[in-house]
Amino acid sequence: MLERFKEVRQRSLTLMQGMSAEDAQVQSMADASPLKWHLAHTSWFFETFVLKPGINDYQVFDRAFEYLFNSYYDSVGSRHPRAERGLISRPSLERVMAYRNHVDKQMAALFDTFNDAQLAVIEVGLHHEMQHQELMITDFKHALWHNRYALTQLAAQNSATSSHSGTSNWVEFSGGLKHLGTDATDSFAYDIEGPQHQVCIAPYALGKYPVTNQDYLDFIEDGGYQTADYWMSEGFELAQREGWQSPLYWCMKRYLQSGKAEDIKVMTWGGYRPLDITEAVVHISWFEADAFARWAGARLPTEAEWEHAAKHQDVGGHFLEDKLYHPRSLNDPNTQGQPLVAMYGDVWEWTQSPFTPYPGFRPAHGALAEYNSKFMVNQFVLRGGSCASAQGHIRATYRNFFHPQQRWQFSGLRLAQDR
């Protein structure tokens, strides 16, 4: 576990390569956090939940950090307002790096002394940091999107687009009593992934592929954003109010004049580039995913259907480790070989299931009970991981969750139908 600890902690630093102190400071919206804050908060986790309670003579690095870098743990103490994390200009990035180094040295020196309970908390901390690595990618991408100077630099980079698409195939599954969730004790899972229980699933089918950019462009061209019949009322009102006409990060200006898909430019971590119609559509809200599914004469899958189908496949695909931070073309040979293409990685897939507790759920004890369960309201479940998720963090039972209006995560969809 010590080697895993070092690997995960180093990956956060690797994401900072090429970043300046100014890059690490910016916060583009209340839902996002500065890179510097992510680096400090993930260290705060180990200091707060492992070092402080487990070591009698532990010397806290800086008492002010207990307030500045607490996220939402009310039982631990008060905290700096989330929407104002970008105002934390001090401590400096250099001091935050010193904080990380301090925590890492203390942890490494004590690893041989940790008991099973402490190792279990460390395991949570590693998965917690992997979650924040994905947030570092999505949050900074959103910040770049607001910076014309940065976009001018990125716009010089382009990549070729492919000319093929196809998402019409369906994979069918029988119904019956199926197991949902996990009680496994031999591998890691969050408390919200259990307890395992039986659900009755009617026969259904899932799309062989995630919905592609070409599919979604067809929806746009057919007036999908202007047709209220496809939308939940709240979503349609939001889309009209905010002027949504496409997924987040699509630049449609030239396309609206020419009508040619190649004139759509998409912002990626590698720069602006022409829309690749064979990639999975990404950066759409639950409202948009649900509206698309209705337009397509289908629906979003339930999380039970998604998990039942996913259990038949290996957890492989395109993840953070590939360092691309953008979905691959679904024509890529590396995406083939399993009945459901890109079930894991590339894009998170929205489901129609609200994020609620499973029957018999009991949250963990202590402050870590606040980790997931207190957010079980007004959110929907996503499954499968994305191109910004660490592969070791993803499994068939993993439940991600976001509010239905949120778009800055790598979220897409796969269609479902009754059979």
Residues in contact with 418: Cβ distance below 8 Å, sequence separation at least 6, in sequence order: 202, 203, 204, 299
Question: What sign has the CA pseudo-torsion 195, 200, 202, 203?
Answer: positive
- pLDDT > 90 fraction of the chain, expressed in percent and rounded: 83
- The pLDDT value recorded for residue 54 is 85
The mean per-residue pLDDT over the stretch 27-48 comes to 98
Q: How far apart are the C-alpha atoms of 268 and 262, rounded to whole Å?
A: 15
CB 385 within 8 A of CB 335: no
Type of residue numbered 284: I
**290-313 pLDDT, tens per residue?**
999 999 999 999 999 999 999 989
- The pLDDT value recorded for residue 330 is 93
DSSP-derived secondary structure letter, 360: T
Q: Which long-range contacts (CB under 8 A, 24 or more apart) does 224-229 make?
A: 224/291, 224/292, 224/295, 227/295, 229/294
Residue range 2-146 in CATH 1.20.120: yes
**239-269 pLDDT, tens per residue?**
999 999 999 999 999 998 898 888 999 999 8
* Angle ∠(259,220,335) on CA atoms, nearest 5: 95
- The stretches of 84-232 forming alpha helices (DSSP H) are 93-110, 116-145, 148-154, 213-221
**111-153 pLDDT, tens per residue?**
999 999 999 999 999 999 999 999 999 999 999 999 877 766 6
Residues in contact with 333: Cβ distance below 8 Å, sequence separation at least 6, in sequence order: none
**393-403 pLDDT, tens per residue?**
999 999 999 99
**316-350 pLDDT, tens per residue?**
999 999 999 999 999 877 766 788 999 999 999 99
Is residue 159 over pLDDT 50?
no
CB 354 within 8 A of CB 381: yes
The mean per-residue pLDDT over the stretch 269-279 comes to 91
- Domain positions in the chain are 2-146, 170-418
Q: How confident is the model at residue 392 (pLDDT cuts 50, 70, 90)?
A: very high
- The pLDDT value recorded for residue 157 is 46
Give the CATH architecture of domain 170-418.
Answer: Alpha-Beta Complex (3.90)
The mean per-residue pLDDT over the stretch 12-28 comes to 96
Is residue 166 over pLDDT 90?
no
The mean per-residue pLDDT over the stretch 283-287 comes to 98
- The verdict on pTM exceeding 0.85 is yes
Q: How far apart are the C-alpha atoms of 110 and 118, rounded to whole Å?
A: 11
Is residue 156 over pLDDT 70?
no
* Among the listed residues 274, 272, 218, the one whose alpha carbon sits nearest the alpha carbon of residue 246: 218
Using DSSP's 3-state secondary structure scheme, residue 75 falls into: coil
DSSP-derived secondary structure letter, 269: T
- The pLDDT value recorded for residue 335 is 66
Tell me the pLDDT of the chain averaged across its residues: 93
The first and second tokens of residue 296, run together, are 């397509």
Q: Confirm whether 2-146 and 170-418 share one CATH topology.
A: no
Is residue 162 over pLDDT 80?
no
CA–chain centroid gap for 208, Å, is 22
Residues in contact with 43: Cβ distance below 8 Å, sequence separation at least 6, in sequence order: 69, 96, 99, 100, 103, 104
Question: What sign has the CA pseudo-torsion 216, 348, 307, 300?
Answer: negative
The first and second tokens of residue 94, run together, are 């250099």
